[in-house]
Structure 1
Amino acid sequence: MTTEEDSRRLAELGYKQELARTWSGFSNFAISFSIISILAGCFTTFGQAWNNGGPIAISWGWPLISVFILIIGFCMSELVSAYPTAGGIYWWAAKLGKPIHGWFTGWLNLIGLVAVTASVDYGCATFLNITLNRLTGGAWEGTLPQAFLLFVIVLALHALINIYSHKLISLLQNVSVWWHVAGAAIVVAILIFAPENHQSASFVFFGTNNSSGFGDGSDGLPFWLYVLPLGFLLTQYTITGFDACAHVSEETQGAARSAARGLWQSIFYSAIGGWILLLSFLFAATHVDEINKNAGFVGTIFDTALSSPLATAIFAISTIGQFFCGMSCVTSMSRMTYAFSRDGAVPGWRLWSKVDRNRTPVNAIIAGCVAAALITLPALYAPAGLTTPVAFYAVVSIAVIGLYLAFLIPIWLRLRMGDAFQPGPWTLGRKYKALCWIACVEIVIVSIYFIMPFSPAGVPGSADFTWTSVNYAPIAVGVVLIGIALWWALSARHWFTGPRRTIDEVPAA
């Protein structure tokens, strides 16, 4: 498909070509692959799975949940093929349903993208904090305030790259893919050949661990029904953000095919690479007591199994991968902000929907990064003994819930539409019914689990309750849902009509 054909298809959907359509199909795949980033999520949320289930939450949980996420990806690939617009998920919901569906989808998606940007950049700052501490021999202390300072610096750098280097972003997305492939391969090789000892296959595939504080640390019924599913947050969080393929579809050549293909392939290849990487972690986890002592922090595996230089090299590889990931997150978030504002949904929409002379939504980039910094402020505080603040996992949960609920609405609407849906060149055919049902049920279940407390200290009314242990995801998501519902009922339903056309006629073929 030529650029003219892409622009004509966009015009049929109601928009003129304002963003520069310079991205190749590989670049479209690359942004989602970079946002999924096995060098980010597999490292930063490893402790969540280790403490809540242990090895089985990783060795079996990862491929199991990956299959469900791939099904969600297939459903979304069909939708992006039919409607390749920057608004992506929000546009699909408004098209397949009513303005109210677009309203809720857009806000959930936007909140999820802000949260995933915050969590990725905070994870990057955490690993950079550790790397600097190791490289300086402790001169850089690596405190929580220092981690937050690095987080703000990383966030600012990502904003600047996105503002001033449109062409560089596309190039860096491509570089990021190869960094993730080569970097992960190097980490796996180090963990195979450098340690003196490895864990047994029985430990990796059948070992359990319950350091959550629930169920007295046993593997009884509470373990299987509550604790272990909390460990699945590792997979559900890592393999997310793949909607980026849709958000940059107005900048992608041959978007109706390449964006659909890029979306599901980014999930598929990340699932395989991530599983191999995580298995290498588990086989190298020979000092279980020490890992438990450090709340499942993945860096403890490297410190106990490797020499200091090799452990530092792994931290550096992951940090750079996370930097690429955060850069891609800002790109996706800003395109969603631009598209949703273009349709008048965001307060001050005229400001956020502007593009500069380089056809870049500068104001949308700045606004999203500022919001990401604000919701991460609680990470300045952490319960004693924890390497990672509970607030980090809360922001992770907000990202997962916001994004996946945003995915749920258009998938459900497509299922409800049935054969009346007009697919694009990439379609599920008759399989859409089974796949859409599976996707909807899985999203509802994980959203319920990820608003639950992560530890007994986060349960209101418990003897050791502390506010720093609270999973504030349900509070944040609940306040937002109530807020946008009230906003809709009292005001938006009178003026928000969904996507606004920015073009009067479709260019002739």
Structure 2
Amino acid sequence: MDSITRRLSSSTAPRKHSVTHDADAQLASMGYKAELPRSLSMLSVLGMSFAIMAVPYGLSTTMYISLTDGQAVTVLWGWVVVSVISLSIAASLAEICAVYPTAGGVYYWSAMMATKDWAKIASWVTGWFNLVGNWTVTLSINFGGAQLILSAISIWNEDWSATPWQTVLCFWAVMLITCLINAFGARYLDLINKICIYWTAASVLIILITVLAMAPSKRSGEFVFAHFDASASGWPSAWAFFVGLLQAAYTLTGYGLVASMCEEVQNPAREVPKAMVMSVAAAAVTGVVYLIPILFVLPDIQYLLNAASGQPIGLVFKHATGSAGGGFGLLFLILGILIFAGTGALTASSRCAYAFARDGAIPGSRWFGTTNEKLGIPLWGLILSTVVDSLLGLIYFGSSAAFNSFTGVATICLSCGYGLPILVSVLRGRKMVKHSTFSLGKFGYLINIVCLCWIAFAVVLFSFPVSLPVTAESMNYASVVFAGFACISIGWYFIRGRKHFRGPPVVLDMEPTLSGQVVNGDSEKGVESASVLSPPKGE
């Protein structure tokens, strides 16, 4: 038996080495040296994407949005609508990722598919959208998690609410925990991401069975599938439904972030695109399975909206189980998902910062664009992401609706970051993805255009406040945060980027092959060497 095991091990090892070597060679053809260990499997990347979306957690922390803007119809059917759209966007990105599997992700894709004259500015704009989106989605996950942790106290004392200082300190604690896991548990990320899948699935099943079995009373099927009431929002009914879609759109944003893990996967051209699409499909089903039982056992809506903590899900669990202890037990399952989500989002953010910095696009690139050989991670990119998010949390002192702003700007920035490479692909006649191993075929144009229309609509939609009337504290400051980062990006471009940033080491006007490799398609416009196009290291 031992001899058989040794023979099997010896026969699979060369194959793994060959796959890793091919991936490193493909990365080299795109102008980069492999510096991170390829230790992640497709299941791990799927788990990470699933963790970042964190369906039960994301839907729980933003439930007040859809309850304000339409109640059951917005909660359930809004989720279904956004799931279909997100699946289309994920498929569009997967098609591109199969051709250009690099940690630069959407930023690299925009540069690669654009013409030579536009590659530089396309990569700069897309990269900043993606970077800010990565930072703010991590911020929103961990900040919402802090609010959810503190809301557990209100299960026993419903009149209690945390002070701004208590909330921010708890948020910083969550940021520190996820940072330490990323720094010193990098070798276990593959295992952590896989555990996330099982934890989430088990949590959804436990919650489903418990609330349906123990709830003292249940709503009717008509309420769950057809009840619509937007009176609490102040918006006209039709518009309230769309504003309420922020709950679903925010939850379903993490699938594109895993592109930044391409350089840590053995066969990224095949595995990462599959993980993107499969994670959205799994999230869509998980959301429906989670939401329907919750809607059946909802207590009085106004009682939930008046929750002092601003997080009603604990009260839903308390009402369903009939006890504070039972409510906390179910809430604990959601808090476990928080740790997976916060860790995964910070992992993706650190890799995104690292990839963008190594091409000289952010201040301090000589540090942030490097990896730590001992830990096997981009340590400075991790520190940068943690510090930026921790500082942004201070917005809460000026606005009690800061979480709305964080979710809104994360959704807007990530949507724009996803949309720009899709737009470039469409404008170039989709010729750069015509041989993708994850091709959308004859429906590619239609799917891409539907995605772009939704993204354009979402940018406007998610800048609106959840309800009227608007005060300084209830204002949605997503547009302000967005404008602030836009000023930093534009300012840094004119200070340094205009002269020194040349974008990623792009191979222009390439023809992708069936294997996902790329070759020069035009000797007149083809390869410009990495030494010419890559920016100088550091400032």
Say yes or no: TM over 0.5.
yes
Is contact 2:123-2:503 (8 Å) kept?
yes
For 1:330, which of 346, 360, 368 is the aligned residue?
346
Structure 1 stretch displaced more, 162-171 or 391-400: 162-171
Post-superposition offset of 1:359? 2.4
TM-score by length of 2: 0.86
Is contact 1:56-1:206 (8 Å) kept?
yes
Q: Alpha-carbon deviations, 1:227-251, whole Å to 9, x = none?
A: 1111000100001111122110110
Match of 1:379 in 2: 396
TM-score by length of 1: 0.90
Alignment of 1:410-421 (within 5 A): 410-421=421-432
Work out whether 1:472 is the aligned partner of 2:483: no
Structure 1 stretch displaced more, 105-114 or 424-433: 424-433
- Secondary structure in structure 2 of the residue aligned to 1:262: helix
Work out whether 1:426 is the aligned partner of 2:438: yes
Match of 2:367 in 1: 351
Alignment of 1:259-270 (within 5 A): 259-270=272-283
For residues 296 and 443 of structure 1, the distance between their equivalents in structure 2, rounded to whole angstroms, comes to 28
For residues 233 and 271 of structure 2, the distance between their equivalents in structure 1, rounded to whole angstroms, comes to 46
Residue identity in the other structure for 2:122: H
Post-superposition offset of 1:16? 1.0
Post-superposition offset of 1:289? 3.6
- Secondary structure in structure 2 of the residue aligned to 1:333: helix
Match of 2:20 in 1: 3
Q: Alpha-carbon deviations, 1:353-402, whole Å to 9, x = none?
A: 121123211111011111111112122466xxxxxx31101111010001
Is contact 1:230-1:450 (8 Å) kept?
yes
Alignment of 1:155-304 (within 5 A): 155-215=175-235, 222-224=236-238, 226-294=239-307, 297-304=312-319
Match of 2:65 in 1: 48
Is contact 2:152-2:314 (8 Å) kept?
no
Work out whether 1:113 is the aligned partner of 2:137: no
- Secondary structure in structure 1 of the residue aligned to 2:361: coil
For residues 45 and 400 of structure 1, the distance between their equivalents in structure 2, rounded to whole angstroms, comes to 13
Residue identity in the other structure for 2:142: D
Higher relative contact order (CA 8 A, sep 6+): 1
Q: Alpha-carbon deviations, 1:217-275, whole Å to 9, x = none?
A: xxxxx210x21111000100001111122110110111101000000110110011011
Is contact 2:68-2:244 (8 Å) kept?
yes
Post-superposition offset of 1:486? 4.8
Structure 1 stretch displaced more, 286-295 or 69-78: 286-295
Unaligned runs of 5+ in 2: 1-17, 507-528, 532-539
For residues 302 and 417 of structure 2, the distance between their equivalents in structure 1, rounded to whole angstroms, comes to 40
Match of 2:12 in 1: none
Match of 2:49 in 1: 32
Structure 1 stretch displaced more, 168-177 or 481-490: 481-490
For residues 186 and 57 of structure 1, the distance between their equivalents in structure 2, rounded to whole angstroms, comes to 24
Is contact 2:362-2:492 (8 Å) kept?
no
Post-superposition offset of 1:419? 4.5
Residue identity in the other structure for 1:243: G
- Secondary structure in structure 2 of the residue aligned to 1:124: helix
Match of 1:463 in 2: none
For residues 110 and 410 of structure 1, the distance between their equivalents in structure 2, rounded to whole angstroms, comes to 15
For residues 42 and 472 of structure 2, the distance between their equivalents in structure 1, rounded to whole angstroms, comes to 46
Seen in structure 2, the aligned counterparts of structure 1 residues 142 and 481 have a Cα distance that, compared at 3 Å, is closer
Root-mean-square deviation (Å): 2.1
Residue identity in the other structure for 1:242: Y
Bigger Rg, which one: 2
For 2:96, which of 75, 79, 92 is the aligned residue?
79
Match of 2:144 in 1: 123
Match of 2:121 in 1: 100
For residues 237 and 339 of structure 2, the distance between their equivalents in structure 1, rounded to whole angstroms, comes to 35
Match of 1:314 in 2: 330
